[in-house]
């Protein structure tokens, strides 16, 4: 996953209303009207949040004319978590090599007199 | 086998933390991080080779490295040194390069080298969303996002 895509994912998640919308969608599909209910917010305002979530690939919206129910797409969320995990692997393997190399250096040092 | 442990990567915290005990004193470990000749020998995952390594180790100095995968793909990374305390501590920024050598999102790497007899305890932190520049404005936003993230994934 590209850093740009991750930025979009995290930017979409940085808003409390959008996180609440995602939490609601985690329990099933919902229309704009249904999603707007818990918030003191106009339908256009909710629609705007849905557009941001849709652009980030976090939700998909149905084509059914008026209702257009939204549903959660968890893939980008998982990618964001995997990103950290990738770094962990990167460094753990680097440190394995670092330790091997340090041992090698010291063996040489002992054979040829300690290097400064 | 050196002792190893890691934490923080799965808990969706914003910083990756890894600690390791390395079989060499801090002076040598520090050199392995800061001398390009040495750094090129270990930087990158297993099977990777370093084809370019420039480290201007002073505050504000730049570093740039290219790691070639076993499949022959090149990965460039770069950053700027923020703090250097030989042989105890290194702080530098990290960014994978995008096409045309432009740096991608900046992250912060903090490495501590503590003496442990003839060995060194390495404490490594890679802050995903905690850059020097953006730390204050983004800290709570990112951290909350990641907390939420963990919940959503658990549900999914």
Map out the domains of chain A with their CATH numbers: 3-74 (1.10.10.10)
Report the candidate in A59, A53, A56, A57 with the shortest Cα–Cα distance to residue A72.
Answer: A59
| Average model confidence (pLDDT) across chain B | 77
Distance from CA of B47 to the nearest CA of A (A): 10
Q: Where in chain B are the domains? A: 24-155
Beta strands in B43-102 (DSSP E): 49-55, 62-68, 74-85, 89-96
Longest dimension (CA), chain A: 81
Q: The pTM is what?
A: 0.60
CA dihedral A116, B43, B45, B119 (to 10 degrees): 40
Mutation target to probe the B interface, by most B beta carbons within 10 A, among A78, A84, A87, A108 is A84
Tens digits of residue pLDDT in B6-25: 333 332 345 778 899 999 99
Question: Any idea which of A38-52, B63-77, B113-127, B133-147 has the lowest mean pLDDT?
Answer: B133-147
SS3 call for A62:
coil
Which pLDDT score, from 0 to 100, does residue A103 have? 94
- CB neighbours of residue B150 within 10 Å: 15
Over residues B108-134, the mean pLDDT reads 79
ipTM associated with this complex: 0.71
Which pLDDT score, from 0 to 100, does residue B14 have? 58
Which pLDDT score, from 0 to 100, does residue A11 have? 81
Tens digits of residue pLDDT in B63-97: 999 999 888 988 899 999 999 999 999 999 988 88
Provide residues of A within 8 Å CB-CB of chain B.
3-4, 6-7, 10, 13-14, 16, 19, 22-23, 26, 72, 74, 77-78, 80-81, 83-85, 87-103, 105-106
Instruction: Kindly give, in sequence order, each residue whose CB lies less than 8 Å from that of residue A45, ignoring residues fewer than 6 positions away.
Output: none
**Do A99 and B22 count as a contact with CB atoms less than 8 A apart?**
yes
Q: Which residue of B has its CA nearest to A13?
A: B145
Tens digits of residue pLDDT in A6-62: 778 878 887 888 888 888 887 788 888 888 888 888 889 999 999 999 998 889 888
Report phi then psi at B31, rounded to 5: -60, -40
Q: Is the pLDDT of residue B142 over 50?
A: no
- For residues B104 and A89, give the distance between their C-alpha atoms in angstroms, rounded to a whole number: 20
Q: Is the pLDDT of residue B34 over 90?
A: yes
Question: Any idea which of B33-37, B79-83, B148-152 has the lowest mean pLDDT?
Answer: B148-152
Q: Is the pLDDT of residue B138 over 50?
A: no
Integer CA distances (angstroms), A41 to A21, A49, A97, B108, B149, in order:
12, 11, 55, 38, 24
**Do A88 and B96 count as a contact with CB atoms less than 8 A apart?**
no
Distance from CA of A53 to the nearest CA of B (A): 14
- For residues A102 and A112, give the distance between their C-alpha atoms in angstroms, rounded to a whole number: 15
**Do A23 and B6 count as a contact with CB atoms less than 8 A apart?**
no
Bond before B87 cis per omega within 30 degrees: yes
SS3 call for A90:
helix
Instruction: Kindly give, in sequence order, each residue whose CB lies less than 8 Å from that of residue B105, ignoring residues fewer than 6 positions away.
Output: A3, A6, A7, B95, B131
**Do A101 and B32 count as a contact with CB atoms less than 8 A apart?**
yes
Q: Which residue of A has its CA nearest to B150?
A: A81
For the segment(s) B24-155, the CATH number from 1.10.1740.10, 3.30.530.20, 3.40.50.2000, 3.40.50.300 is 3.30.530.20
**Do B41 and A74 count as a contact with CB atoms less than 8 A apart?**
no
């Amino acid at each position: 996953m590209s850093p740009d895509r991750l930025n979009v994912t995290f930017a979409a998640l940085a808003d409390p209303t959008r996180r609440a919308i995602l939490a609601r969608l985690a329990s099933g599909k919902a229309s704009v009207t249904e999603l707007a209910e818990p918030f003191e917010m106009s339908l256009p305002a909710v629609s705007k949040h849905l557009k941001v979530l849709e652009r980030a690939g976090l939700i998909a919206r149905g084509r059914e004319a008026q209702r257009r129910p939204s549903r959660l797409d968890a893939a980008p969320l998982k990618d964001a978590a995997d990103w950290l995990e990738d770094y962990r692997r990167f460094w753990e393997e680097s440190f394995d090599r670092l330790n091997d190399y340090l041992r090698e250096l010291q063996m040489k040092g002992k054979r040829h007199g300690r290097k400064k | 086998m050196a002792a190893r442990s890691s934490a923080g990567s799965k808990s969706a915290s914003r910083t990756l933390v890894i600690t390791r005990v390395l079989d060499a004193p801090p002076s040598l470990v520090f050199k392995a991080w800061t001398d390009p000749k040495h750094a090129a020998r270990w930087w990158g995952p297993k099977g990777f080779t370093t084809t370019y390594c420039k480290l201007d180790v002073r505050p504000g100095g730049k570093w740039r490295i290219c790691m070639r995968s076993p499949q022959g793909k090149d990965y460039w990374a770069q950053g700027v040194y923020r703090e250097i305390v030989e042989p105890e501590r290194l702080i530098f920024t990290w960014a994978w390069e995008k096409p045309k050598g432009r740096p991608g999102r900046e992250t912060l790497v903090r490495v501590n080298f503590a003496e442990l007899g003839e060995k060194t305890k390495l404490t490594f932190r890679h802050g995903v969303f905690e850059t020097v520049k953006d730390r204050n404005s983004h800290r709570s936003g990112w951290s909350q996002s990641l907390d939420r993230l963990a919940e959503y994934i658990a549900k999914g």
